Amino acid sequence: MGCEHRQAAGADAAPLQFDENSLSEVKRVIAVLSGKGGVGKSLITGALAVELARQGHSVGILDADITGPSIPRMFGMAGKRVGGIGKLLLPEVSEHGIKVMSSNLLLAHETDPVLWRGPMIAGAIRQFWSETSWGPLDYLLVDMPPGTGDVALTVFQSLPVDGIVIVTSPQDLVSMIVAKAVNMSERMDLDILGIVENMSYVICPDCGKKLEVFGSSKLDKVAAEHDLEILGRLPLDPDLAAACDAGVLEDRLPTGILPDAVAAVEALVPKRQSEASADPQGN
């Protein structure tokens, strides 16, 4: 990554990579990013994790949405607290084996607010990477905080992110918001796998017709503008919302959802691997 890019993105000149610990062996890190809040980024993160796990991969979710964590609840972990091994934290493990680390799993009560300033939030990201025993993982999905602010910058500077999935919804000011996410990723020299549109349409329960309740999708236009691959469109589905609330997303998520997004993640060559094969001597 060029220094000028890091500085243009507001980064310090000093390298800030957080170290991986000896009990973690994470092969690929994928960040799920949205330009603004409430578009369903956490749901898409959860859905990708479930589908990857169903394909037999070992999967973890690092919930970097420190002040608005919603991953534990959708995996039935509300009210649980993570344990530890020596000085390391142990992620909570879902019914079907997905490992989760989240600020909500460190709080005494799920409803306690996280009133932390920037440096403490950055400290939590460090803890979730360097001081968490992830074990061997094929994929670690990072549920990013909404937007392109301080925490997103910390994650992109400090974790070895291999690729990014951008989530958007039709009611976004889609072009400008996607442009922000794309520009940030480019300045940080990160690969964008593509874009998923959430809440794209609703299927009428009576006639089965597809209704575009937020108006017609601008996804094709925006994807073409930014040269992004379209990785799928997910409908607004009350059953999905209910499954998240009840903590049973793993059981109720329809099989085969977002196949292109799953395939793009599976096809991703880890940066560390491609760098190693480009320079087998490690020079």
Which residues form the interface with ligand ATP (CB under 6 A)? 34, 37-43, 65, 68, 70, 146, 198-199, 234, 236-237, 240-241, 244
Supply the Cα-derived Rg of the chain in whole angstroms: 18
On whether 208 is known to bind a ligand per the annotation, the reply is no
Instruction: Closer to ligand ATP by CB, 38 or 79: give it.
Output: 38
Q: Do the annotations mark residue 42 as ligand-binding? A: yes
Q: Are strands 92-93 and 99-101 parallel, antiparallel or unpaired?
A: antiparallel
Nearer to ligand ATP, 33 or 140 (CB): 33
- Token pair 């999708």 is found at 217
Residue 41 marked ligand-binding? yes
Q: Is 36 annotated as a binding residue?
A: yes
Backbone angles phi, psi at 54, to 5 degrees: -65, -25
| 118 SS3 class | helix
What six digits make up the tokens of 78? 């509300």
C-alpha span between 106 and 81 (Å, rounded): 6
| Closest to ligand ATP by CB, 151 or 192 | 151
Least Cβ distance, residue 36 to ligand ATP (angstroms): 7
Task: State how far the Cα of 198 lies from the Cα of 202, in Å rounded to an integer.
Answer: 11
- Shortest distance, CB of residue 88 to ligand ATP, whole angstroms? 27
Q: Shortest Cβ distance from residue 85 to ligand ATP (Å)? A: 29
CA distance 153 to 8: 12
* Nearer of residues 34 and 185 to ligand ATP, judged by Cβ: 34
Q: Is 175 annotated as a binding residue?
A: no
Detail the residues annotated as belonging to a binding site for ATP: 35-42
